[in-house]
Chain A
Amino acid sequence: MNDYLPLVGMIALVIVFVLASFVASILLGPRNPNSAKQAAYECGIVPESEPAERFPVKFFLVAMSFIVLDVEIVFLYPFAMVMRGLGVFGLVAITIFVLVLLIPFAYLLSVGALAWGPVAQVIREIVPVRRTSVAVLDPALTEGTTGQAA
């Protein structure tokens, strides 16, 4: 485990360096806070609401798809080490493994979970109103809106 000693040294050195810069800055820099300076930045106006707590669900979908891919990669690393020894058996096994992971990925792509483009414009097609008794009584039943992408 001695191999990891230099890493510990580097971590310690970096922490000391950053800490020392912060302390030096506290000692050297001015310190006169006021409420305007400490307010959250919002282009000069006083913030009226808290930052959002809810986010587009897409960011979470990206994070979750990433976990699947990342686990796949972590499994591929040891495979790369022993690939030559495993021969054709390993090749077939890893191909099946990757393809099985690509199927949910293909599903994600197909439902647009990873599509970030501008929202498709929905054109409301006007359905001609047929003059029936039902249409007169309740126009919503016939004067419909069918969603169609532009």
Chain B
Amino acid sequence: MNALFAADPLFNGDGLWGSIFVVVLLKVVIAFVVLLVSVMLYIWGMRKWIADMQNRTGPANAGPFGILQTLADGIKLFFKEQSIPSSADKPIFRLAPYLSILPAFLMFCVIPVGGKINVLGHETYLQVVDLPIGAMFILGCSGIAVYGVMLAGWSSGSKYPLLGSVRASAQMLSYEAAFGLGILSVLMRAGTMSTREIVNQQSWTNTDGILQNLSNFYVVPAALGFVIFIIAAIAETNHPPFDFVEAEQELVGGFVTEYSGIRFAIFFLAEFMNIITMSAVAVTLFLGGPNGPMFMPARFGQSGWVNGTVVPILWFVGKVLLLTFGTVWLRASVPRLRYDQLMAFGWKWLIELAVLWVLVTAGILVLGDRGWNPAAAGVLSFGIAGAAYGLLYLCMPKSGETVEEFR
């Protein structure tokens, strides 16, 4: 029982009241505020980066370098009228923003941001909660996010939101399978679902060389899993080039067409928070989370406040920044796909590839345990998987072939 439930040393002692309660509250509030501020900065940074890529200035007036632009936009929306269409299903119309924003916050709770710290005499992880089923929790949260989009569009009682939300939920469902299988390729190597354990297994040791340490990160042994995960995560968060939810030429505003004022702001917030959270998940699962080279270990020691607390946080933030910059770069440079291209890519390539990659990983690991030569195990696994994909490919209707129509 202890191994299943009490992963965070904070809860090892008996009792929950008094200072432990304060520590929990503190962690939750700090994570909440940090997430809100980081979304604010991300939206500003995104606009600034895209402006640079398009040879413009971008937001420049609110605060130094326009850094308060997002805050100004948010405050403005408080003073706007919230209009609900008379044809809307009002309770669900009001509920949808909650369903959209909750998973974004909850998913971040299982992300380890740094090592252990001491607060009010209690030792605790720099992570809101260390669930023994952390990875599955991430999958569940990304599943709930679909409901926010679907119900928002359905409850609006209007045409464009309905079309947009049906389309968006089909997209998010399609890529959720690949998303889950991408996570799985890490879980099989890690043998645990706890995000803290996964991060610990990608540790950085000072005695090894840089290449040796980098290959500890799961991005190297599970490279294909990383690619699948990133593509699926971009589609899950409805980010360009997969932003069909807000394909304004086709759907006006998609599922948020009827939302105005602060309700729209909440959806907007959730969308961009999802990008930060997904980047954090990718960093945790594949890029070693807060692990990285220490800063002058001879001078500052291995686990002082510099190398024990500050440097891991900096590594984590740095890696997340790198991935979020990647999403902005995508937004600036890749045009939106066509909807049938998206669905065809998801169902005909990504899901098969992800399923077979899971089998290949299992084959390599299990046969490796039995003492097989890794090359032989790899060739056998890839051979069987390749044959399976070949058979599937033969089943797919080729272009120009007539298929029975399902519409």
Q: Once the chains bind, are B16 and A5 in contact (CB under 8 Å)?
A: yes
Q: Once the chains bind, are B348 and A114 in contact (CB under 8 Å)?
A: yes
Binary contact track A1-43/B, C-beta < 8 Å → 1, others 0: 1111111011101110110011011101111110101111111
Q: Which of A6, A52, A109, A113 has the most CB of B within 10 A?
A: A6
A3-B7, A109-B347 given; A63·B170 CB < 8 A: yes
Chain B contacts for A84, CB-based, 8 A: 191, 365-366, 369
Chain A contacts for B314, CB-based, 8 A: none
B25 at the A interface (CB under 8 A): yes
Q: Once the chains bind, are A90 and B366 in contact (CB under 8 Å)?
A: yes
Within the complex, what minimum Cβ distance (angstroms) separates B388 from chain A? Answer: 7
A40-B156, A84-B365 given; A112·B404 CB < 8 A: yes
Q: Once the chains bind, are A29 and B402 in contact (CB under 8 Å)?
A: no
Q: Once the chains bind, are B263 and A22 in contact (CB under 8 Å)?
A: yes
A84 to B252, CA, bound (A): 51
How would you classify the secondary structure of chain B's contact residues: helix, strand, loop or mixed? helix
Which one of B75-83, B295-303, B321-329 is at the A interface?
B75-83
A10 to B273, CA, bound (A): 15
Chain B contacts for A128, CB-based, 8 A: none
- Counting chain B residues whose Cβ lies within 8 A of the other chain, the interface size class is 35 or more
Q: Once the chains bind, are A10 and B128 in contact (CB under 8 Å)?
A: yes
A57 at the B interface (CB under 8 A): yes
Q: Once the chains bind, are B106 and A116 in contact (CB under 8 Å)?
A: no
A62 to B358, CA, bound (A): 22
B275 at the A interface (CB under 8 A): no
B86 at the A interface (CB under 8 A): yes
Q: Once the chains bind, are A17 and B32 in contact (CB under 8 Å)?
A: yes
A6-B27, A102-B392, A114-B347 given; A73·B366 CB < 8 A: no
Q: Once the chains bind, are A6 and B162 in contact (CB under 8 Å)?
A: no
Binary contact track B389-407/A, C-beta < 8 Å → 1, others 0: 0011001110111111111
B158 at the A interface (CB under 8 A): yes
Q: Once the chains bind, are B159 and A40 in contact (CB under 8 Å)?
A: yes
Chain A contacts for B188, CB-based, 8 A: 80, 83
B136 interface neighbour in A77, A88, A107, Cβ under 8 Å? A77
B85 interface neighbour in A9, A40, A70, A110, Cβ under 8 Å? A40
A9 interface neighbour in B24, B80, B136, Cβ under 8 Å? B24
Chain A contacts for B79, CB-based, 8 A: 25, 28-30
A141 at the B interface (CB under 8 A): no
A102 interface neighbour in B82, B83, B343, B355, Cβ under 8 Å? B355
Chain B contacts for A86, CB-based, 8 A: 366
B207 at the A interface (CB under 8 A): no
Q: Once the chains bind, are A52 and B366 in contact (CB under 8 Å)?
A: no
Which one of B45-53, B61-69, B94-102, B280-288 is at the A interface?
B94-102
Contact residues, A67-124 vs B (CB, 8 A): 69-70, 72-73, 76-77, 80-81, 83-84, 86-88, 90-91, 94-95, 98-99, 102, 105-107, 109-120, 122
How would you classify the secondary structure of chain A's contact residues: helix, strand, loop or mixed? helix
A58 to B191, CA, bound (A): 37
Q: Once the chains bind, are B8 and A39 in contact (CB under 8 Å)?
A: no
Chain B contacts for A150, CB-based, 8 A: 400
B159 interface neighbour in A15, A22, A51, Cβ under 8 Å? A51
Chain A contacts for B156, CB-based, 8 A: 40
A11-B106, A41-B252 given; A91·B362 CB < 8 A: yes
B177 at the A interface (CB under 8 A): yes
Q: Once the chains bind, are A77 and B28 in contact (CB under 8 Å)?
A: no
Binary contact track B171-206/A, C-beta < 8 Å → 1, others 0: 001101100110010011001110000000000000
Chain A contacts for B355, CB-based, 8 A: 72, 98, 102
B340 at the A interface (CB under 8 A): yes
Q: Once the chains bind, are A40 and B157 in contact (CB under 8 Å)?
A: yes
A41 to B49, CA, bound (A): 33
A140 at the B interface (CB under 8 A): no
A40-B156, A52-B159 given; A149·B109 CB < 8 A: no
Q: Once the chains bind, are B392 and A106 in contact (CB under 8 Å)?
A: yes
What are the 6 A-B residue pairs with the smallest beta carbon separation, nearest first?
A112-B403, A40-B158, A116-B340, A149-B402, A25-B262, A110-B395
22 pairs, A vs B, C-beta closer than 8 Å:
A2-B11, A4-B129, A10-B109, A14-B102, A14-B105, A15-B102, A18-B98, A21-B266, A25-B80, A29-B80, A29-B262, A32-B81, A40-B156, A41-B252, A69-B177, A70-B176, A88-B366, A109-B396, A114-B343, A115-B344, A119-B407, A122-B402
List residues of B whose CB falls within 8 A of some A CB: 5-8, 11, 16, 24-25, 27-29, 31-32, 77-87, 94, 97-98, 101-102, 105-106, 109, 128-132, 135-136, 139, 156-160, 162, 166, 170, 173-174, 176-177, 180-181, 184, 187-188, 191-193, 252, 257-258, 261-263, 265-266, 339-340, 343-344, 347-348, 351-352, 355, 358-359, 362-363, 365-367, 369-370, 384, 388, 391-392, 395-397, 399-407
A6-B24, A58-B406 known; 5 new pairs, CB 8 Å cut-off, are A25-B77, A25-B80, A70-B177, A73-B184, A98-B358
